[in-house]
Structure 1
Amino acid sequence: MKRYFNFQLLLLLAVSLFMGSCNPNDDEGGPVFPEGSTESVNLWVQDSMRRYYYWADQMPAKPDYHLPVKDFFKSLLSAQDRFSFAVDTQDPSSYPRSVRNRYGFDYAVIQLANGDVVTTVKLVMKNSPAFNSGLQRGMMITKMNGKAITAANAEALTSSIKDQTVIELTVGNWKNGSVADEKNITVYYGYSFEQPLESKIFEKNGKKIGYLYIYDFPDGMTPALNQKFAAFKAAGVQQLILDLRYNYGGSVSSAAALCSLIPSGITASSPFIVYKGNKNGGEVKRTFAQQISYDPNALEFSLLQTNALDLNKVYVLTSNSTASASEIVINNLKPYLQVVQVGEVTLGKDMAGFLVEDKRKPKKISWQLHPVIYKVFNANGEGAYSNGISPQIAASEYTTLPLLPLGDSEESLISSAVNNIYSKSASKNDWEPGVRVLFQSDAPSAAIGK
């Protein structure tokens, strides 16, 4: 797209849009700096943010153009903004770093009822460096780079390993209330491949429950979703559990495709989402079909409907890592069916955006901006969940150790949902009062820039 100030048209490309840039010195009466200087780049940053940033009206009138670019960008942000960030494509160190995106796993430091503090591996991404090193969900970590993990040093240890390219872990298995079979494993920094959808079908007393674990919402996942739901429908699934506990989000179009496969009574023209931007962007509404169509591998809404389960209730497993597009799934399904949330309060990213970069040829600015551009709402105008979405059934996945594999019917969050489906016996609070979560490697303070 050659021009980038038509907000209504830009929104059609949803959150995956790559934007052009205006001349950084084109503001009449504004300061002028030599091309290629830090100040010139900062003018481009300021101009881009004025056009797109949700809180543009709160930006300082006279920022310090002499600041380093990253600091200048931060100086423009609203105090309400936890999520906007900027990266220099020529400087790998400027990219957000987390244990998950560098090594492919996450862990939690928890205090047990007896006062003992232990560290458990909660997530291992398939075909990640951690996976290839033999790390598994449910293992206990006793040392990182030779240092015993405690509640006091967990955050510092986590910060330090994010800057390394190889880490040494001492791990073991949880047996009879203690760690056994300890061994050392080495995990190298590396790439984690796209995560597959994982599904199961649970059956009891003639009732079938479909379970679907979704790690994230990448562009192009609609055919895979359609295939999973075709299998659910062929098997006669009557209830559905969506596991979004580690899902940071991604493509809104992929999330819309998932939502279209669940409730009864929706049509292609049923409203799905409302985007509200700054004074330049205004308000834009999208139906299910409209939002789905911007997935690069989009399937026709009518085709998706042939595999829809036509349910009046869905169970969603959540944690503090459930964010963005996964929160949109929860909020934007509510006008169409009952959503029973099981687990923890979600992260609270009730917003969306797209990447802003210099599209001139040749490119003159290497920085990319990832600003908050829209607040998002459902068909009933409901949103504003910046403090997170609270579950109807509060439950902890750390109630029982060792942590069981995702997809195991006895795993804590899954069993809370299954028990509610089969017997209605799950309480409104399945949280074990003796267990305290002291630190998580994917907590907002530890997982930066997601």
Structure 2
Amino acid sequence: MKNFFKIHITTFILLSVTILSCNRADDEAPVFPEGSIESVNVWVQDSMKRYYYWADQMPVKPNYHLPVKDFFKSLLAPQDRFSFIVNTTDSSTYPRSVRNMYGFDYAVLQLANGEIATVIKLVLKNSPASNAGLERGMMIKKINGQTITPLNAEQLTLSITNKTILELTVGNWENGSIINDKNVTVYYGYSLEQPLMSKIFDQNGKKTGYLYIYDFPDGMTPILNQKFAQFKAEGVQELILDLRYNYGGSVSSAAALCSLMPSGITANSQFITYKGNKNGGEVKRTFSQQIAYDPNALDFNTLHNNSLNLNKVYILTSSSTASASEIVINNLKPYLQVIQVGDVTLGKDMAGFVVEDKRKPKKISWQMHPVIYKVFNANGEGGYNNGITPQIMVDEYDNLPLRPLGDSDEVLLSSVLNKIYSKSANKETSQTKMKVLFQSDSPFIQF
């Protein structure tokens, strides 16, 4: 499940929590034999009482006899879409998705004529999907021999995660139909770390930098610094960040990215405020402090030396833009103009850290990932649990086939380039309006 950690566990602030015992504040609570399911559930409850953002909404008398995963779910607030628990000795307890198992995602669309089309929207580099020859923009006709319909799309997607071999019938989109269809086999496997992709567009001497960032792992400050040093050396005047498929990651890496854009900030400028329950209280961190939570990160001053000193930035988003990538959008706003283009983001205005048993030897193998903080920018602005709405709404699927990311004629990117260079729209207009019925990453990032 190594790839799962890249996508999800890094969406939390990278701290470690040491819980040496299960000391209870409630002396009347039941005591169970060590090692029993009930004793594990007591540990889960105690930990959640201490850290969970909605601890005051937890049931007073939960059922300690439930399986651990079910017990954990019984503690969660109704509005909590993101907390989860895994058993580190049992891979079946980890959330699964098409993306983290096979390295691609797709969307099921309804065309204006009522027909259904399934388009591959993302293929990770060095993934099982890319090794099998899948590419962004290809159309899927069948999955494991079944034609995708609005009625079976979600169930079919969920069934994929219980398999290790995926049989697809795919083809290319041309003039409203699928041509050159072929059968492709994709095997379950690991996707390598995703590289940053950058380009520089130049028209009439005005240079625009484009940077696609798939996620925010710790340890990415050197490559961020390198990309912005190149942008600065080339005289880039405008910047487009593509975060449309970015689930999030390290808040420290997000802070590092933000330090490379605006002018007028210092190491001591406030970057973020975390607000927890009555135990967690409120924690404020400057740019320098947040970046330093990654022990291997370049420091603020080194990074800021390559700042583009911008007064605005364009950010491309979708419903898959989440967590640390939403923090980038929200927490840049006090320092420059953020022009968001695309679709409404997921709405993960919260963060947390891993809660696990650090005793040696470890007695409990379960690992919790609860919501612990709500997050706010330097102006105290947050509360985007329904997502962050773009100033410029653009449908990525407005014109098929989907073009490669970074292509100047790709729908979202071209809409920004047209705005920057004040051109009339020069991309083909869609002859059929698409309606998104289902996306393969929806169940995974909203479990």
Number of matched pairs: 432
Residue-by-residue CA offset, 1:304-355 (whole Å, 9 max, x unaligned) = 1111000001000000000000000000000000000000000000000000
1:136 corresponds to = 135
Give the residue type in structure 2 aligned to 1:376: V
| 1:19 counterpart residue number | 17
Aligned partner of 2:300 in structure 1 is 301
Check if 1:343 corresponds to 2:312: no
Identity %, equivalent residues: 74
Q: Is the 8 A contact 1:52 1:373 kept in 2?
A: yes
Q: Which moved more, 1:197-206 or 1:346-355?
A: 197-206
Indicate if the aligned counterparts of 2:111 and 2:432 stay in contact, CA closer than 8 A: no
Structure 1 Cα separation of the partners of residues 170 and 423 of structure 2: 38
The one-letter code sitting in structure 2 at the alignment partner of 1:17 is L
Distance 1:24 1:312 in 2: 51
1:377 and 2:379 correspond: no
Partner Cα separation in structure 1 for residue 265 and residue 92 of structure 2: 46
CA distance in 2, matches of 1:447, 1:280: 28
Q: Residue 437 of structure 1 aligns with which residue?
A: 436
Structure 1 residue runs of 4 or more that deviate by more than 6 Å after TM superposition: 430-433
Q: Is the 8 A contact 1:223 1:297 kept in 2?
A: no
Distance 1:293 1:38 in 2: 39
| Structure 1 pair 291–425 and aligned structure 2 pair: CA distance change class (3 A) | farther
Alignment match, 2:122: 123
CA contact (8 A) 2:107 2:121 kept: yes
Q: Hey, what does 2:9 align to over in structure 1?
A: none
Are the counterparts in 1 of residues 20 and 358 from structure 2 also a CA contact under 8 Å?
no
**What is the aligned partner in structure 1 of residue 194 from structure 2?**
195
Residue of structure 1 equivalent to 2:239: 240
Q: 1:13-412 counterparts in 2 under 5 A?
A: 15-24=13-22, 26-27=24-25, 28-412=27-411
Unaligned runs of 5+ in 2: 1-11
CA separation in 2, counterparts of 1:448 and 1:397? 21
Change beyond 3 A, Cα 1:378–1:432:
farther
Q: Distance in 2 between matches of 1:296 and 1:143?
A: 46
**Structure 1, unpaired ranges of 5+:** 1-13
Superposition CA RMSD, Å: 1.5
Give the AA of the match of 1:237: V
Deviations 1:409-448 (A, max 9, x none): 110000111111111767xxx99982111110012x3445
Alpha-carbon distance in structure 1 between the residues aligned to 2:272 and 2:424: 34
Q: Distance in 1 between matches of 2:255 and 2:444?
A: 29
Residues 396 and 431, structure 1, Cα contact 8 Å, conserved in 2: no
The CA distance in 2 between the partners of 1:191 and 1:100, in whole Å, is 10
SS of the counterpart of 1:44?
A: helix
Scaled by the length of structure 2, what TM-score is found? 0.94
Give CA deviations for 1:147-176 in whole Å, capped at 9, x if unaligned: 111122111110110111111000001112
Q: For residues 93 and 448 of structure 1, what CA distance do their matches in structure 2 show? A: 18
Contact 1:158 1:446 in 2 (8 A): no
**1:432–1:220 Cα change, 3 Å:** farther
Distance (Å, rounded) in 2 between the aligned partners of 1:209 and 1:127: 28
Q: Would the aligned equivalents of 2:396 and 2:412 in 1 still touch at CA under 8 Å?
A: yes
